[in-house]
Amino acid sequence: MPVKKIRIGILSSGGDCAGINPAIKWVVKTALDERVRAERGIHYEVVGIKDGWEGLVQPVPAPEYLISLDPEVVRTWDRYGGTMLGTSRTNPYDPKNDRSRLVLNNIDKLGLDVLIAVGGDDTMGVAHKLGTEGINVIGIPKTIDKDLCETDYTLGFETAVDVITQEVDRLRTTAGSHKRIFVVETMGRHAGWLALEGGESSGAYIILIPEHDFSVDKVNELVLEGRRAGTRYDIILAAEGAKPAGSAEFTREERLDAFGHKMLGGIGEFLARQIEDGTGLETRSVVLSHLQRGGAPCAYDRRMGRYFGIAAVDLVNMRDFGKMVCYRDGRMTTCALEKVVGRLKQVDVTRLYDVERYNGRRTILTPDYAHREESGTGKC
């Protein structure tokens, strides 16, 4: 029986983070596994496309943007952060510079049967549009913001939380030495998952998220309350998209990127000034910025990258395109890209956030917990 040949293209787009390389590695290792090929009667070839969508908007397929991937090439990739293929924030469908036709032409010229895109909402949006134009696309979720709908996890998040925790641990020594308050600004444009879970992990005193506008007076009141209780210093975490009630988001630049986003930043510095002026306590701000994206992937991101990569190849084998692989309710699954694009998964304030303490909830078990236990509806 003749062996069917399928050529897979893979790229990473948007912000870099830990977990991308493990996903790419396991797409390659799974697709080119000899046993899998023998069982399925399919011969795969995997082509890495460098610098995200930038690698596909060239006038002709540019060799410098392409790399042939095999198990030996990607053997050690899962140990490293960032993306070995490179990335960019290029938008082929940018209304001011639409180059989508170049992408379609290059996919055709390169003979790509399938395109796997690793990225966040913007990347999935481009992939979905290509899918509506007849391209076989599959998405792998990646964003440290963990704000993609339909999946409980996105690559890079847990490593970024680890970084926040480590950096706050370092700040504690200088904060305690000088009796200072530190306001730590994290990423998180519209979703506060990084600030919330990073703050919970590091034991931050106050956590401010985009989903709930805060009162500066209340923040100052909480700070003074802590000092009266005997605290020597405090750590406050604020997502870049957090803002005082009645105020707009803080921006570093008004210009928009190719996907129409402003560059946020400045809430940490603003809040530090407000706290110092309002309480008289020495307050400093620290912006973690791209530190949160850097470093080697933690164990969880290495495993999840593996699972997402394998699941993506499963979709190729089943010829089930226009999907994003997902992790939901403790298992790997998939969803249609159209269900992901344009929707954000934000923190459920009612369930997860204490609006009085400006911190994570101190109640976890829901009111129906006892009823579920008595009725035996829980599953082992």
149-192: pLDDT as tens digits: 999 999 999 999 999 999 999 999 999 999 999 999 999 999 99
At residue 338, the pLDDT reads 96
For 41, the token pair is: 């009667």
At residue 254, the pLDDT reads 72
pLDDT tens figures, 319-341 = 999 999 999 999 999 999 999 99
At residue 62, the pLDDT reads 87
- Whether residue 71 is predicted with pLDDT greater than 50 in this model: the reply is yes
Percent with pLDDT over 70 in the chain: 95
Alpha-carbon gap, residue 190 to 162, rounded angstroms: 21
At residue 372, the pLDDT reads 56
Domains of the chain plus CATH, in order, are 4-155+297-340 (3.40.50.450), 158-294 (3.40.50.460)
At residue 315, the pLDDT reads 97
At residue 2, the pLDDT reads 57
Write the burial class of residue 57 (CB in 10 Å: 0-12 exposed, 13-18 middle, 19+ buried): buried
- Whether residue 380 is predicted with pLDDT greater than 50 in this model: the reply is no
pLDDT tens figures, 103-116 = 999 999 999 999 99
Q: Is the pTM of this model over 0.95?
A: no
Alpha-carbon gap, residue 251 to 259, rounded angstroms: 16
Which is higher by pLDDT, 227 or 40?
227
How far from chain centre, in Å, is Cα 72? 28
pLDDT tens figures, 255-301 = 767 676 777 889 999 999 999 999 999 999 999 999 999 999 999 99
At residue 371, the pLDDT reads 56
- Whether residue 354 is predicted with pLDDT greater than 70 in this model: the reply is yes
Q: Which residues are catalytic?
A: 145
